[in-house]
Amino acid sequence: MNLKQQDEDVKTVSLSSRPWAATIILVGGVIALLLSIGFSVSFGAADIKFIAVWEAVFHNNPDLTQHQIIQELRLPRVLGAAMVGTSFAVAGAIMQGMTRNPLADSGLLGLNAGAGFALALCFAFFPGLPFLFLILYSFLGAGLGAGLVYGIGSMVRGGLTPLRLVLAGAAVSALLSALSEGIALYFHIGQDLAFWYAGGIAGTNWLQLKIMFPWVLAAVFGAIILSRSITMLSLGDELAKGLGLRSGTVKLAGTIIVLILAGAAVSVVGAVGFVGLIIPHLTRKLVGVDYRLIIPCSAVLGALLVVCADLAARMVNPPYETPLGALVALIGVPFFLYISRKEGRGL
Amino acid sequence: MSPEDWRKQKRDITVMISLGLLIVMAFVLSMNTGFIRLSPLDTLRTLFGGGTAKEELILFDFRLPRIVISVLIGAGLAVSGCIMQGISRNALADPGILGINAGAGLVVLLFVAIYPTTEAAPVFMLPILAWIGAGLTAALIFSLSYKRHKGLLPTRLLLTGIAVAAGISAATIVLTLRISPEKYQFVATWMAGSIWGTNWNFVLALLPFIAVLLPFVFCKARMMNVLNLGEANAIALGARVSREQIVLLMAAVGLAGSCVAVSGGIGFVGLIGPHVARRLVGPKHQVLLPTSALTGSLMVIVADMLGRLILQPSEIPVGIIVAIIGAPYFLYLLARPSS
């Protein structure tokens, strides 16, 4: 690569990042998020008026049933949805940036299956474990899944192509979910686990949120601090090194952040895939290739997607709930096909 | 025939005979194992009509049909995988990874969810339903990964298959949550890949498919060798490529679909059976296809036996055992520099 070429690369990078678009997304996204949270709280098996929602939040009266529903059921649920969406989206953005792989996503790469496996173990051997420990174990599980996939990847000469990464992820997921299924069948916890996998978000409570929130917050901040380095990594290892980046340290920090985010999200909502695939892509299309813009915008849009999907899951077939993961997959699968077609040409 | 060919042929025959002997051994061993153990002598005595009523019941009504089914689905799935690997010219294709098992499973599950009981009449319906599901899925995947003038794109085939499998499992989860707990237990066991149809009706339901499709595919072995040379070469050799691909694919889908109907989602047999076979006898389909059938059968019998042995008195579905053995092997194949 000659100097002129490099110069042009840098120019295209700065040209194709669009701060104004990011500002619009951040401002508009936050407004849309607040609106959809409000809507989501007021909509449900019992419709509650917006004014009542407002009062329940700011002048809570525990004697009123409506206020109780909002405080104890709807609010934690919708906030949980927002947090989970943020976590998956930011985790996906970091993974795609670090691996320069358009198909990276915690669901596809075995992290979700790993966390699920750890939780199956917990359900089977330590029933009634406090939520804090469940979260810790699901971090460990996510780490196990990721470690397996990347371990395989590091053994392949010439690194992992997107196809190989997805295949390794599929095989690791198959292995870990076979183990979880075996455990579930043996201990008769199958339907518990399935319900939890499919719609864990309905049972979110304040305690879970309190435990989750600091982790997610810290991880998202960490991601934003790291975002400049991730942009460099996404331009290629050579260029990153040329710019004086210690890529090993950045990759380690990035991986830890991804594990925390994916582990925390899976422990609340179960194995919801594709959020981490769709949102970062969409964001990159909108704001360009600078991860300082991509990560915060992904966080907002991810939250928006999951809150809306959760709302839709309740509206599709009331009074039943359609599992969130299934609903997201319905959007995610065609999207995956589209990306693998478009960007997978060089595979 | 040159001496080298002759030696190769002799070796192939030795391999097949030894695999056959291993299957017979596994067959006998498998008849002995289970919740109630029968000694080999008791088994033999019962087989020839000298056993007590209880022994006869265990052997003829429970164990034998199950073992026969293991042999059939092992052969069916492995040959199906072998065809898919041949057509797509991708060593990692298999009906499980491409989502064809999942498609068959979804249709069967729909039927089970709607139909009031899980037994009785529908036995003969299940393979046909699974066929339909598998066929629709295969059609979807292939239409998405087919490009005019270029034929099937192997990479796209795998990626599309994985995506479609993910979509179908999402739909499956929605469905499983709606059914009663009793049906759920059945469906969960079935989806994990368990040989649940342990009576002769299931053997009868499955046998025609295997008995017709396997010989048909064996006859097509030469054509598969030609297709393996790549689209352009195959056309130059006078093969009607698209037509042959579709016919072979339908056979593969038929095999996978009917096996899935009785065995649920057993993955990885279709991947590993042909791989091991290729290591043993090489890439010529005349020998590769029958050897795949043998390795597949052996795998499923042994996995089923292990599943009954490991956590007695409860059973681990075959599919789980196969995945626990198969997934690491798959990863090993993936990590190998040459593949």
Residues of A in contact with B160 (CB under 8 A): 337, 340
Residue of B nearest to A321 (CA): B174
Residues of A in contact with B335 (CB under 8 A): 152, 155-156
Give the containing element (helix H, strand E) for B29: helix B3-32
**A347 part of contact set with chain B, CB < 8 Å:** yes
* pLDDT digits 0-9 by tens, A81-135: 899 899 999 999 998 888 777 777 777 778 878 888 888 888 888 877 777 787 7
Cβ–Cβ of A322/B155 closer than 8 Å?
Answer: no
Considering CB atoms only, which of B159, B171, B185 is closest to A344?
B159
Q: Reduced to 3 states, what is the DSSP secondary structure of residue B147?
A: strand
* CA gap B262, B193 in Å, rounded: 9
What is the pLDDT confidence band of residue B80, given thresholds at 50, 70 and 90?
very high
Quote the minimal CA–CA distance from A151 to chain B in Å. Answer: 10
Residue ranges with strand state E in chain B: 146-147, 151-152
Record the pTM: 0.78
Query: At residue B126, does pLDDT exceed 80?
Result: no
Residue type, B161: G
Cβ–Cβ of B320/A175 closer than 8 Å?
Answer: no
Query: At residue B107, does pLDDT exceed 50?
Result: yes
* CA gap A53, B116 in Å, rounded: 44
Higher pLDDT, B294 or B233: B294
Cβ–Cβ of A172/B327 closer than 8 Å?
Answer: yes
Contact call for residues A209 and A79 (beta carbons, < 8 A): yes
Residues 6+ apart with CB under 8 A from A246: none
Question: 125-184 in B: which are within 8 Å (CB) of A?
Answer: 144, 155-156, 158-160, 162-164, 166-167, 169-171, 173-174, 176-178, 181, 184
Residue A50: the pLDDT is: 67
Higher pLDDT, B136 or A239: B136
Residues 6+ apart with CB under 8 A from B121: none
Query: At residue B296, does pLDDT exceed 90?
Result: yes
Cβ–Cβ of B97/A170 closer than 8 Å?
Answer: yes
Q: Label residue A188 exposed, middle or buried (CB < 10 Å: 0-12, 13-18, 19+).
A: exposed
CA torsion sign for B109, B115, B117, B120 is negative
Cβ–Cβ of B328/A191 closer than 8 Å?
Answer: no
- Computed on alpha carbons and rounded to an integer, the radius of gyration of chain A in Å comes to 20
Range ranked top by mean pLDDT from A107-111, B75-79, B164-168:
B75-79
Question: 82-101 in B: which are within 8 Å (CB) of A?
Answer: 92, 96-97
Residue B197: the pLDDT is: 61
Q: Give the residue from A101, A150, A152, A167 with the most B CB atoms within 10 Å of its CB, the best one to mutate.
A: A167
Percent over 70 (pLDDT), chain B = 87
Residue of A nearest to B145 (CA): A341
Question: 161-190 in A: which are within 8 Å (CB) of B?
Answer: 163-164, 166-168, 170-172, 174-175, 178-179, 181-182, 184-186, 188, 190
What is the pLDDT confidence band of residue B339, given thresholds at 50, 70 and 90?
very low
pLDDT, block means (10 residues), chain A with 347 residues: 50 63 84 86 68 69 70 80 91 85 75 84 80 80 83 68 77 85 77 62 76 89 88 78 77 86 81 83 85 89 90 75 78 81 55
Once rounded to an integer, what is the mean pLDDT over residues B17-45? 79
Contact call for residues A176 and A110 (beta carbons, < 8 A): yes
Residues of A in contact with B170 (CB under 8 A): 323, 325-327, 329-330, 333
Q: Which long-range contacts (CB under 8 A, 24 or more apart) does B29-38 make?
A: B29/B305, B30/B63, B30/B67, B30/B70, B30/B301, B30/B304, B30/B305, B31/B59, B31/B63, B31/B64, B31/B67, B33/B305, B33/B308, B33/B309, B34/B58, B34/B62, B34/B63, B34/B308, B35/B308, B35/B312, B35/B313
* CA gap B268, B134 in Å, rounded: 16
- CA distances (Å), origin B123, targets A266, A335, B196, B205: 39, 38, 11, 7
Which 3-state string (H, E, C) describes chain A?
Answer: CCHHHHHHHHHHHHHHCCHHHHHHHHHHHHHHHHHHHHHHHHCCCCCCCHHHHHHHHHCCCCCCHHHHHHHHHHHHHHHHHHHHHHHHHHHHHHHHHHHCCCCCCCCCCCHHHHHHHHHHHHHHHCCCCCHHHHHHHHHHHHHHHHHHHHHHHHHCCCCCCHHHHHHHHHHHHHHHHHHHHHHHHHHCCHHHHHHHHHHHHHHCCHHHHHHHHHHHHHHHHHHHHHHHHHHHHHCCHHHHHHCCCCHHHHHHHHHHHHHHHHHHHHHHHCCCCCHHHHHHHHHHHHHCCCHHHHHHHHHHHHHHHHHHHHHHHHHCCCCCCCCHHHHHHHHHHHHHHHHHHHCHHHC
Question: 300-329 in B: which are within 8 Å (CB) of A?
Answer: 311, 314, 316-317, 319-320, 323-324, 326-328
Among B166, B100, B160, B175, residue whose Cα is nearest residue B133: B100
CA torsion sign for B30, B33, B37, B41 is positive
Residue of B nearest to A103 (CA): B159
- B313 preceded by cis ω (within 30°)? yes
* CA gap A142, A144 in Å, rounded: 5
Residues of B in contact with A112 (CB under 8 A): none
Quote the minimal CA–CA distance from A89 to chain B in Å. Answer: 19
Query: At residue B295, does pLDDT exceed 90?
Result: yes
**A203 part of contact set with chain B, CB < 8 Å:** no
* CA gap B132, A190 in Å, rounded: 28
* CA gap A90, A96 in Å, rounded: 10
Cβ–Cβ of B331/A168 closer than 8 Å?
Answer: yes
Q: Enumerate the β-bridge partners of residue B152.
A: B146
Please calculate the CA angle B278-B281-B284 and round it to the nearest 5 degrees. 80
Contact call for residues A275 and A85 (beta carbons, < 8 A): yes
Higher pLDDT, B189 or A259: A259
Q: Give the residue from B141, B173, B186, B268 with the most A CB atoms within 10 Å of its CB, the best one to mutate.
A: B173
Query: At residue B61, does pLDDT exceed 90?
Result: no
Residues 6+ apart with CB under 8 A from A71: A56, A60, A62
Q: Label residue A85 exposed, middle or buried (CB < 10 Å: 0-12, 13-18, 19+).
A: buried
Q: Give the residue from A117, A149, A181 with the most B CB atoms within 10 Å of its CB, the best one to mutate.
A: A181
Residues 6+ apart with CB under 8 A from B1: B9
Contact call for residues A285 and A156 (beta carbons, < 8 A): no
* CA gap A260, A90 in Å, rounded: 11
Phi first, then psi: what are they for A235, rounded to 5°? -90, -5
Considering CB atoms only, which of A184, A330, A340 is closest to B156?
A340
Quote the minimal CA–CA distance from A147 to chain B in Å. Answer: 13
Q: Reduced to 3 states, what is the DSSP secondary structure of residue B330?
A: helix
Residues 6+ apart with CB under 8 A from A89: A275, A276, A279, A280, A298, A299, A301, A302, A303, A305
